[in-house]
Amino acid sequence: MRHVKNPQLHFGEVNISEINIQTRSRDDIPAILKGLQYIYTNDEAREKVFSALEKTLDPSVSTEAGRPGMELWKTFVLATLKLGLNCDFDRLQELANQHNTIRQMLGHSGWEDTTDYKLQTIIDNVSKLKPSVLAEINQVVVESGHEFVKKKPGDALRTRCDSVVVETNVHYPTDINVLWDAMRKVIELTGRLCESSNVSDWRQYRYNVKKIKRLYRKAQKIKHSTSKDEKKKAIRTEAVHQAYRNYLLESERMIEKSRETIKGLVSLDNVIMVELIHTYIAHAERQIDQTDRRVLKGESIPHSEKVFSVFEEHTEWISKGKAGVPVELGVRVSVIEDQHQFVLHHRVMWQETDDKVAVPIIEEAKQRYPAINQCSFDKGYYSKDNVVELNKHLDNVILPKKGRCNKAEKAWQESEVFVKARRKHSGVEACINNLEVRGLDRCLSRGRDGFERHVALSVVATNVHRIGLLLQRKELARLQRDERRKNQRIAA
C-alpha cells in the first residue's frame, strides 16, 4: 500500500507550503528545499509530478493491502537531495533523520514523530525511480521555472548543446588487473555456492584467491629490461613471459575447476548465482586470450575487443584531447541548456560520438519543447548531413564548420545572429560545471539502468536548485528593499 503523498496531516505536522526555509543561507540545502516547495505549492505542477511518480508503482502489486511503502513524494525529495548535494547514501540517511527542515519537507512533525529511515530502505526506494519518469518530472520542473522567470508561452527558446564525460566508478584498467577482478569473483562466488550447498570442494577458496593475487602481483611488478645487451634483454623478457604464463595457467586451472564444480550444483535456488559465475568466467577467458595474444604472441589488441571493467561493462575509454586529461573512463552525455539556464534535455551516448547525436537530441528536445528555434554547437557536432537535417527543425543552426567555408557559409558565420550565439555558447560550460557539482562528475550507481537514473536525477536536481536560487534572490531583494525603506523612515 504505497501512496504518492498522504493528504491527511498528522498532529504537529507542518504543511509544506508553510515551511520556513532560510533565505540568506548560501548552502545548497535551502535552495533545493525552496525549489521543491515551489513545485509542491504549484497545483498544476504538483499534480503532474504526482502523476509521473505513480508510474513507478508496480501495476501487478495491489496498493490497497499490505505493508505501507515509502510515499513517492518522500522518495523524490530524498533522491533530489542526494544528487543536489552530490552526497552518498550515508549522509542522506543522516540528513533525513536529523535535519529538521528536511524532515518537515518529508512530512514529519518536529516533536512527536520518531520515524527513523534505515539506510537500505532509502537505497531501495531511490533506486525505484525510472529515467523515463524523471524525464517527465524534469519537463514539469522546467516549465514551472519558465513560468517563474515570466516567459510568455509563445517566446522562443534559444539553446546551446555540449557533451561531457560522466566517469564510472572503475579503476584504471590493464589486461591483467581486469583478469584479477574476474578471477577473484569466480573463486569467491564458487566458494560461497559450495558453502551454501554443503560441498567441501572449495573449502580453501580464500587461500586460492590469495594464490591468484600473488601471481597477479608478480606479473604486475616484473619489469621489462631496458639494457642494450641483447643477452640480458632476452633473459629478462623470458622472465616476464614466465610470470605471465604462470598467472594465466593458474587462472585457466581455476576456471576449469569452477566450471566442473557448478555443473553438479545447478538448481532453482541458485540459478542466479550460477549465471553470475558463468558471466565472470566469460570475462576471465576473454582476458586470458587477450593477455596471451598481447604479451606472449606480440599481437596488438583491437580497441573494439577491449572491455575496461567486468563490473561496469558500459565503461568507455574516451580521449577528448583536453590538456592534462589524457583519458577519461566513463560514458558521454549530451545536454541542452536554454537562455534561462535550465537543462531542457539530455542524452546518454552509448557508443556514440557528438556528430551522431546532434540531430536525435534536437528531435527529442523539440518533442518536449516545441518553442526551441535555435541551438548552438561545438565543431565536434558538425557534418554536412547534420546541418541539412537540423535546418529542418530549427530556424537558426549555430554549428561551426570544420575546415574552410564557402562564400555562403562564411556569410552565415559572420552574421550577427551567428556571432552573438557563438559568444554566448561558452556559457554551456558553466552549466556542465553545475551538473558536475550535482553528481554528474562521477556515477557511483551500478549498471546501465543505474547510470541512466543517476544522470536523469542530476538534471532534475540541477533544475530544482535553479528554481530555488531564483526564489532566494527574489525574496532577498524584497527583504533588502524593506530594510532600506525602514532605515529611510527612521532617518526621517
Average pLDDT over residues 392-407: 89
Same domain? For 344 and 443 the reply is yes
Average pLDDT over residues 64-78: 75
Same domain? For 183 and 99 the reply is no
Answer yes or no: is pLDDT of 60 > 60.
no
Same domain? For 335 and 446 the reply is yes
Q: Is residue 6 part of a domain?
A: no
Q: What is the pLDDT of residue 245?
A: 93
Lowest mean pLDDT: which of 75-84, 316-325, 340-349? 316-325
Same domain? For 200 and 160 the reply is no
Domain boundary among 250, 277, 305: 305
Q: Is residue 401 part of a domain?
A: yes
Confidence band (pLDDT; 50, 70, 90) for 1? very low
Q: Is residue 11 part of a domain?
A: no
Answer yes or no: is pLDDT of 10 > 80.
no
Domain boundary among 265, 285, 305: 305
Q: Is residue 337 part of a domain?
A: yes
Answer yes or no: is pLDDT of 439 > 80.
yes
Percentage of the chain lying above the pLDDT 90 cut: 59
Most confidently predicted of 104-118, 150-164, 419-433: 419-433
Answer yes or no: is pLDDT of 65 > 60.
no
What's the number of domains the chain is made of?
Answer: 3
CATH number of the domain residue 426 falls in: 3.30.420
Average pLDDT over residues 83-106: 92
Cell digits for 366?
Answer: 523539440
Same domain? For 449 and 331 the reply is yes
Q: What is the pLDDT of residue 451?
A: 95
Instruction: Read off the pLDDT of residues 101-142 as tens digits, 9 standing for 90 and up.
Output: 998 898 887 667 778 899 999 999 999 899 999 999 999 999
Same domain? For 280 and 346 the reply is no
Same domain? For 397 and 451 the reply is yes
Instruction: Between 14 and 164, name the one with better pLDDT.
Output: 164
Q: What is the pLDDT of residue 67?
A: 52
Answer yes or no: is pLDDT of 166 > 90.
yes
Q: Is residue 233 part of a domain?
A: yes
Same domain? For 81 and 54 the reply is yes
Same domain? For 330 and 436 the reply is yes
Same domain? For 300 and 378 the reply is no
| Identity of residue 93 | Q
Domain boundary among 305, 330, 348: 305
Q: Is residue 200 part of a domain?
A: yes
Q: Is residue 489 part of a domain?
A: no
CB of 398 closer than 8 Å to CB of 376:
yes
Q: Is residue 237 part of a domain?
A: yes
Q: What is the pLDDT of residue 64?
A: 53
Same domain? For 89 and 210 the reply is no
Mean pLDDT for all residues in the chain: 88
Average pLDDT over residues 458-472: 95
Classify the phi-psi angles of 229: left when phi > 0, otherwise alpha if psi is within -120 to 50, otherwise beta. beta
Q: What is the pLDDT of residue 226?
A: 67
Average pLDDT over residues 207-221: 93
Instruction: Read off the pLDDT of residues 229-243 as tens digits, 9 standing for 90 and up.
Output: 777 778 888 888 899
Containing domain of residue 446, as a range? 150-169+314-455
Percentage of the chain lying above the pLDDT 70 cut: 93
Confidence band (pLDDT; 50, 70, 90) for 63? low
Answer yes or no: is pLDDT of 68 > 60.
no
Same domain? For 38 and 119 the reply is yes
CB of 212 closer than 8 Å to CB of 254:
yes
Only one residue has cell 548543446, namely 161
Answer yes or no: is pLDDT of 61 > 50.
no
